[in-house]
Structure 1
Amino acid sequence: MKKERSAYLFQKYIDKESSAAERAELLETLTHADQTPQLEEMMDNLWDKTSEVDLGEDKAAEIFKQVMAADDDSEEYKKTSAFKMWWAWAAAIVVMAFAGLFMMNRSNEQRNLAKTKPQSNNLESVVARTLNEHKKVTLPDGSTVILNNNSSITYHQDFKGKLREVFLKGEGYFDIKHDDHKAFIVHTGKVKTTVLGTAFNIKAYDLDKDIEVTVTRGKVSVLNGESVLGIITPNQQIVYNKDFKKSGLTKVVAKSIVQWQENDIFFDDVSMEEAAQLLSKRFNTNISFSNEKAKKCKFTATFLKGESMEEILKVICPYNNAQYEITANGVTIKGEGCE
C-alpha cells in the first residue's frame, strides 16, 4: 500500500470521517509489521499537530503493556527503557485514537468538518476543511466542490433566499448545478465569482498574492467589489493580484489547471453497480456481476493518488461480502450480496 494512502486513511480516521471500508483497510495496514516505519511517521506528524494530551507516563506504559501483552517477552519489548517509553506513548495514542478519545483536545484547524453559527445571522453554516488531502463536498443544491490540500469552504446548510453563496479559502474545483433563478457566488476575500451553472477552478490561498479563476465549462463573471474584472469562458483564466489590485485575462489549457483532482475517486453512498460503472469507465474495463444481489450493496469510500483498479477492488469487495476475478475479458464480481 502506498505511503500516501496509509497517511490519508489514518488522518480520515482521526477526523472521524472514514467509512467502514476505509477503517477496515487501515486496520489491515496497521497489523503488518512492515508498516511500523510509516506508523511511526504518522504518529510523529499527528503529535506535532495536536495539542498536549494529559496522559501520565504510568498510564501510557500500562496501556502499552496491555496492547503488547501477547508478545511482552519478545526482544522488541526488552529494549531500552527510553525506547519502551516512546512506544508507550505511541501505543497509547493509537489506542486512544481508535477509541475515539484522542482528538478531544484538537485545535479547530484540524477538524475536517465542523458546524458554526455565523455572526451575521442565525442561520447555521457548515465549514468543510482539508489538511493534506482532497475532499469532495456536496452542497445543499447538489452542486459539488473538490477541495485541494489545506483548503476550506463555508456555506449555509441550506440555500434559502435569492442566492447560493459559499466562502472559499485555498483551492477548489466547482461543478455547479444550473439554476436560472438563483445565482451561485464564491467569495474569496473581496473577489466574487458568480455563475448560474458551470464548472470552474478557483485558487485563492491566503499567502498567495494572486487569486486565479479558471473555467472548464460554461461562463463565469468575476468581480472585485462592484467592479467587473471580466467574464470568462472555457480555457480562459482571470488572475487578480491582491497587492496591486490589478487583473488580467489569459487563454489557458484548463485541463492542466485542474489536473490536481483528476485522479480522485469518490464513492459517496453508492451501490456496487454504480461503483462498477464508474470503474469501468475510468479504467476502460468490462465489469460484470455473477449475482444480482451483489449489485445492491452500498458503501462510501475515497481513493486518491491514482490507485489502480485492483487496489480499489481489494478494498470495496471484501467490505461488501464480495470477491472479484480478473480475466482477459474483464472483471467478474461474485458474492452473497445485500438485500
Structure 2
Amino acid sequence: MEQERSSYLFNKYVSRTCSPAELKEFMAIVKNADDATVIDLVMDNFWNQSPEVELNPVKADSILTKVLSSDAKKDAKTPNLSVQWLGWAAALFIICLATLYFNNKTKTTPPAANQTAKKVVQSDKPVELLTVKTGNEHQKVNLPDGSTVILNNNSSISYPKVFGVKRAVTLTGEGYFDIRHDLKKSFTVHTGNLSTVVLGTAFNIKAYDRDHEISVTVTRGKVSVLDSNAVLAILTPNQQITFNKKDKLSNLNKVIAKNTVQWQESDIFFDDISLEEAAQALSKRFNTTITVENDSSKKCRFTATFLKGESLDEILKIICSYNHAQYQTTAGGITIKGDGCE
C-alpha cells in the first residue's frame, strides 16, 4: 500500500499535477526515506509502464548513466527508454539528489554551522559584574553606557563592567535612573521577577526586600513593566505602578512624579566636572546668576558630593577651596575669581 501510494505521488509529481498537499506528502517521503528505498519504490512500479518506442542506444546509455550515478543503484535493471521515461528519469534524478541532501543534512553539520557555534562559545566569556552598595547616604553610579542612577540609603545595584548586546542591571532598594537613549539596545532593570524596560528615559524604582510592594514611577519618557514575560503596564510621565510581591497584583495610578523622587532632589553630584559647568548647574538650581571670571579657572575640574541640603554659600565655599578661587556676591549675582588650578 505504501509503495502504491509513493508511486502514485511520483506519477503526479512527474506530470506536474500534484496538489499542494500531495507535493508536501511526497517530499516528506523523499526526506524520511533513504535514497535506495525511494529509487526502488518508483522504479519497480514504473519500469514496465513506458511505451516500446526505442531511443538511440548511445543517447539512452548517456541518460541512464546520469540518472543512476548513485552507488545505491549500480545494479539497477536496464529498460527500453521512451520519451515518457525521460520525464520519469529526470524527476528521479532530482529526487535522488534531494534524498542525498536531506540525509546528509541530518547526519552531518555544515561547516558554517560549526563556525557559528565556535564563535558563540568563544564569545561566551564570563561577564565581570560590579556591585555598588550604599549605607546611610545616597550615591550616584555612572553606568557603562553613560546612564546614571542615584541610589537611596541601604540600596545596591549590580551591573556589568561593559554592556554587551544587552543593557541590564539588577537593583535592590531604591534608585532614580536617568537612561541614555539607544534605539538599538533597550535598558532593563531587574527587581526580582519584575523587569522595567526602557529605551531612554528617567524613572524611579523602589524595591526593598523588606517591602511587600515594588513601585515604578516615570518622570520622563516611556517605561514598560513586566512580570516575567507578561506586560503589566506601559507608563508615561506622572504614572506609577505598584506590584504586590505576594499576590502578584498590580495597580496603575496617576501621581505627581516629582514628589516621589523628592528624596534625591536635594542631592548634588559633581563628577569630574569643570568649574564653569558647576557654576551653570548651581545657577539653574538656585535661580541665581553665577559666573567664573578667569578663563583658566573655568577649566578647573573637580569631584564633590552634597547630600545634606547644603546652602549655596556652603557649596561655593567648598568648591572654591578645591579650585584656589574666591567668590563675591553682588546685586547682579555671584562672581567666582581665581588664578586657575595649575
TM-score (norm 2): 0.63
Pairing of 1:222-261 with structure 2 (within 5 A): 222-261=225-264
- The alignment status of 1:217 with 2:220, answered yes or no, reads yes
Structure 1: gaps of 5 or more residues: 1-119
% identity of equivalent residues:
67
Query: In the TM superposition, what is the alpha-carbon distance from 1:189 to its structure 2 partner?
Result: 0.4
CA offset digits 1:12-61 (Å, max 9, x no partner): xxxxxxxxxxxxxxxxxxxxxxxxxxxxxxxxxxxxxxxxxxxxxxxxxx
CA separation of 1:290/1:218 partners in 2, compared to 1, >3 Å: closer, same or farther? closer
- The alignment status of 1:333 with 2:336, answered yes or no, reads yes
Where does residue 304 of structure 1 map in the other structure? 307
CA offset digits 1:101-142 (Å, max 9, x no partner): xxxxxxxxxxxxxxxxxxx96111111111111111111110
Where does residue 142 of structure 2 map in the other structure? 138
- The alignment status of 1:152 with 2:190, answered yes or no, reads no
Question: What amino acid does structure 2 have at the position aligned with 1:301?
Answer: A
Question: What is the DSSP-based 3-state SS (H/G/I as helix, E as strand, rest coil) of the residue aligned with 2:318?
Answer: helix
Aligned-partner Cα distance in 1 for 2:323–2:340:
7
Out of 261, 265, 276, the residue aligned to residue 262 of structure 1 is 265
Supply the RMSD in Å over aligned alpha carbons. 1.2
Where does residue 188 of structure 1 map in the other structure? 191
Preserved contact between residue 216 and residue 242 of structure 2 (Cα < 8 Å): yes
Query: In the TM superposition, what is the alpha-carbon distance from 1:294 to its structure 2 partner?
Result: 1.2
Aligned-partner Cα distance in 2 for 1:289–1:186:
39
Aligned-partner Cα distance in 2 for 1:256–1:274:
27
Where does residue 81 of structure 2 map in the other structure? none
Aligned-partner Cα distance in 2 for 1:125–1:204:
20
Where does residue 170 of structure 2 map in the other structure? 167
Preserved contact between residue 217 and residue 238 of structure 2 (Cα < 8 Å): yes
Question: What is the DSSP-based 3-state SS (H/G/I as helix, E as strand, rest coil) of the residue aligned with 2:243?
Answer: strand
Runs of 4+ that moved beyond 3 A = none
Aligned-partner Cα distance in 1 for 2:247–2:125:
33
CA offset digits 1:201-242 (Å, max 9, x no partner): 000000000000011111111111112111111111111001
**Structure 1 residues 328-337 or 258-267, which shifts more?**
328-337
Pairing of 1:85-164 with structure 2 (within 5 A): 122-161=126-165, 163-164=166-167
Question: What is the DSSP-based 3-state SS (H/G/I as helix, E as strand, rest coil) of the residue aligned with 1:338?
Answer: coil
Where does residue 297 of structure 2 map in the other structure? 294
CA offset digits 1:58-79 (Å, max 9, x no partner): xxxxxxxxxxxxxxxxxxxxxx
Aligned-partner Cα distance in 2 for 1:189–1:298:
39
Aligned-partner Cα distance in 2 for 1:314–1:289:
14
CA offset digits 1:172-210 (Å, max 9, x no partner): 011111111111000000100111111110000000000
**Structure 1 residues 317-326 or 181-190, which shifts more?**
317-326
Out of 165, 173, 179, the residue aligned to residue 182 of structure 2 is 179
Structure 2: gaps of 5 or more residues: 1-123
Aligned-partner Cα distance in 1 for 2:169–2:131:
10
Question: What is the DSSP-based 3-state SS (H/G/I as helix, E as strand, rest coil) of the residue aligned with 1:293?
Answer: helix
Preserved contact between residue 279 and residue 292 of structure 2 (Cα < 8 Å): no
Question: What amino acid does structure 2 have at the position aligned with 1:272?
Answer: L
Aligned-partner Cα distance in 1 for 2:159–2:225:
19
> Larger C-alpha radius of gyration, 1 or 2?
2
Query: In the TM superposition, what is the alpha-carbon distance from 1:288 to its structure 2 partner?
Result: 2.1
**Structure 1 residues 221-230 or 288-297, which shifts more?**
288-297
Query: In the TM superposition, what is the alpha-carbon distance from 1:324 to its structure 2 partner?
Result: 1.1
| Structure number with higher relative contact order (C-alpha < 8 Å, ≥ 6 residues apart) | 1
